[in-house]
Amino acid sequence: MGKLSKGTAYEKYAFENEILDKNKEFIEKKAGTAKYNFSIGLNGEKYGVWFDYSVGKIYVSKDYIKDRAYHFALTLEDGRENSMFMSAGKKYNAWRIFVENIKMGNVRYENQKIKHEMQEFIRKII
């Protein structure tokens, strides 16, 4: 299999964990004006959610500030001490703003891998 896929996009997907989706929509790095808001646990990964009111966008990034107050777990496996699950997040303004901005198309992802991982979450809320 390795010899057959050598040098192809499939090789990068299968052996280097690169996402095949080359659609650049919603892929954008956060600017220095973005402010950290909370973290999300999903599939064993932790993501930071950053609001940038100067450009009206929200960013999901691998950057997060450790031990900040709000951490939302999207699956039982991602729960940890002092984390909240999606249903509890509904009473927090930052969480509601995040979900509404996903629905409006104002959320950007740092890279394809994060976008791909977050699709599971997005399917649950829209």
pLDDT at residue 3, as a whole number? 60
pLDDT at residue 12, as a whole number? 54
pLDDT at residue 26, as a whole number? 95
Q: Angle, nearest 10°, between helix axes 112-125 and 93-104?
A: 100
Q: How confident is the chain (126 residues) per 10-residue block, as mean pLDDT? A: 56 53 86 94 91 96 86 79 77 92 95 91 80
Phi, then psi, of 77 in degrees rounded to 5? -65, -25
* Domain ranges within the chain, ordered by starting residue: 22-125
Radius of gyration (Cα) for the chain, nearest Å? 16
Q: Is the pTM of this model over 0.85?
A: no
Within 1-126, strands assigned E span: 35-42, 45-52, 57-61, 71-73, 84-85, 107-109
Q: Which three-class secondary structure state does DSSP give residue 106?
A: coil
Q: Give the Cα separation of 111 and 17 in Å (integer).
A: 13
